[in-house]
Amino acid sequence: MMFRVIDTETCGLQGGVVEVASVDVVDGRIVNPMSDLTLPDRPISRQAMAVHRITEAMVAGKPTIEEAIPRYYGSAFYVAHNASFDRRMLPEMYGEWICTMQLARQLWPGIKYGNQALRHSLKLDVTPPAELHAHRALYDCYVTAALLIRIMETSGWSASEMIVRSQPAAQRDDILPFGKYRGQAIAVIARKDPGYLKWVLNNVSDLRPPLRQALNKYLSESQ
């Protein structure tokens, strides 16, 4: 199974991608590094430039993110630290998303969840490219990949469970976390197989109250 860890650097919090990079995690190894500087659709803010040190001159004449992104396609799973941000910055990637920040919050509550903070507190064994620094996209990919490997080793979570756990808490209760439809939206299951959800309600005694509430809600809406 392959997970593609992806990261973007931007002009600021509102967007404008100046760099995209990825590495693949296969059988606990970090392989296939890729990175591209990209021409953004807006000026790079001074605050962003101070963080990633990518200048206007470095991206002049580079492809746009829409032109650069096709070679990053092809993975069933995309992984990012604070995935909701990178997902918003990128074109549609046609895969499931896993967020290492959400997973780290659940595994190690109460510590700092920044990429570099986790690298040091968890003593992650990773060597990013020597010519890069923190907050360059490929450098951060290596750290996130090492974090993903540690998360999988520590938790034993499957890909589908990591996908569910990567949702914000409110949305996690709208996804079935077990059974033959594990990882699928309850709203979809209610339309195609309401009988199964009724069986779950009647036979699974230890459902969390928010999940039980979601099952009842979507079943009533589907009738």
Structure confidence at residue 176 (pLDDT): 83
| 171 pLDDT tier (thresholds 50, 70, 90) | low
Q: What is the DSSP string of 68-102?
A: HGGGG---SEEEETTHHHHHHHSPP--SEEEEHHH
Q: What is the pLDDT of residue 144?
A: 98
By DSSP bridging, strand 77-80 and strand 2-10 are: parallel
Instruction: Return residue ranges of the chain for CATH 3.30.420.10.
Output: 2-165
Q: What is the DSSP-derived secondary structure letter of residue 185?
A: B
Mean pLDDT, range 67-79, rounded to an integer: 97
- Tell me the pLDDT tens digit for each residue of 181-191: 887 778 888 88
For residue 156, is it left (φ>0), alpha (ψ between -120 and 50) or beta? Answer: left
Residue 205 neighbours by CB under 8 Å, 6+ apart: none
* Cα distance between residue 86 and residue 147, in whole Å: 17
User: pTM for the complete prediction?
Assistant: 0.78
- Quick one: tokens of 67? 């032109």
Q: State the Cα–Cα distance between residues 88 and 96, nearest whole angstrom.
A: 14
Q: What is the mean pLDDT of residues 65-91?
A: 96
For residue 195, what are its two tokens?
């009988």
The CATH number of domain 2-165 is 3.30.420.10: yes
Q: Residue 53 and residue 70: Cα distance in Å, rounded?
A: 25
Give the CA dihedral 33, 26, 99, 154, nearest 10 degrees: -130
